[in-house]
């Protein structure tokens, strides 16, 4: 029996990175997967990979900044597999023009907030009632270590959006604790994923991040998936409202010892 046997898991941002790695791991642990994204080609590649593990997988095109799309992706989960037990609000962007307060345009700010913060709210708006109807479960919201520390390379909108995710998740955890619904934030450190590598597009920018990581390397999407599995499973049954930091030690020692 897998750790998520017969559970229905909805994962946003499933076309790559943490989302794809989590879809694969959750499937191996017995979950039925609803993979949501706006990148259809890459999303369908995720489906093909998951199908090597289980046939219990479906893809849905969903822009998490749109209420109708979020409602539809939850309805797809219910119609396809009869309910929802795990909601992983993972979709997010890191805009290349996100900088400090002076550099960041209102357009970049609004787009980042729409996806990274409003998208989590909308996922919960429609997903939590479905989890409640299914007898309970877990919500995992992807935040970031920068919500706790701030970023070495300025990305104000991203950092602020992820700070909002932390605050919102804590309140959701309080509200739904007596309903057998746990809500936690996953706070990855810097990862070797397309999202971050496209942002850190020079060796100088990469080194500016790496110098702060005690382990001396970027994390892997697969390592975040394992952390998400813990939060999704009954092994974390007393973990609620947590900022679950998986960052190679970066928040413990922001300056690496010589």
Q: Which helix (H) or strand (E) holds 89?
A: strand 86-89
| Phi, psi angle pair for 244, to nearest 5° | -85, 100
Catalytic residue, candidates 59, 121, 158, 254? 158
CA 18/CA 188 separation, integer angstroms: 10
CA 11/CA 1 separation, integer angstroms: 21
Output the six-digit token pair for 77.
């989960």
Nearest in space to 252 (alpha carbons), one of 211, 197, 208, 214 = 214
Please list the alpha-helical segments (H only) found in the chain. Answer: 17-28, 40-50, 67-81, 106-113, 119-133, 146-149, 156-176, 194-199, 203-210, 221-232
Active-site annotation holds for 158: yes
Contact 184, 244 (CB under 8 A): yes
Q: Which helix (H) or strand (E) holds 178?
A: none
165 Ramachandran zone, left/alpha/beta (phi>0; psi -120 to 50):
alpha
| Phi, psi angle pair for 247, to nearest 5° | -140, 15
CA 54/CA 75 separation, integer angstroms: 21
CA 170/CA 166 separation, integer angstroms: 6
Active-site residue list: 158
């Amino acid at each position: 029996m897998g750790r998520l046997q017969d559970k229905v898991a909805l994962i946003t941002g499933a076309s790559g990175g943490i989302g794809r790695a989590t879809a694969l791991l959750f499937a191996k642990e017995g979950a039925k997967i609803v993979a949501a994204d706006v990148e259809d080609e890459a999303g369908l590649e995720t489906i093909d990979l998951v199908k090597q593990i289980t046939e219990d997988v479906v893809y849905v095109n969903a822009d998490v900044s749109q209420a109708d799309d979020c409602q539809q992706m939850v309805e797809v989960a219910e119609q396809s597999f009869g309910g929802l037990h795990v909601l992983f609000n993972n979709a997010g962007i890191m805009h290349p023009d996100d900088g400090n307060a002076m550099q960041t345009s209102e357009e970049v700010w609004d787009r980042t907030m729409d996806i990274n913060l409003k998208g989590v709210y909308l996922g919960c708006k429609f997903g939590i009632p479905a989890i409640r109807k299914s007898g309970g479960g877990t919500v995992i919201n992807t935040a970031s270590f920068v919500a706790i520390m701030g970023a070495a390379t300025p990305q104000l909108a991203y950092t602020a959006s992820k700070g909002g995710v932390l605050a919102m998740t804590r309140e959701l955890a309080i509200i739904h604790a007596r309903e057998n619904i746990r809500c936690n934030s996953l706070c990855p450190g810097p990862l070797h994923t397309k999202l971050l590598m496209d942002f850190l597009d020079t060796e100088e920018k990469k080194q500016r991040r790496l110098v702060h990581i005690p382990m001396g390397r970027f994390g892997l999407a697969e390592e975040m998936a394992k952390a998400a599995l813990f939060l999704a499973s009954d092994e974390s049954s007393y973990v609620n409202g947590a900022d679950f930091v998986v960052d190679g030690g970066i928040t413990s020692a922001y300056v690496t010892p010589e």
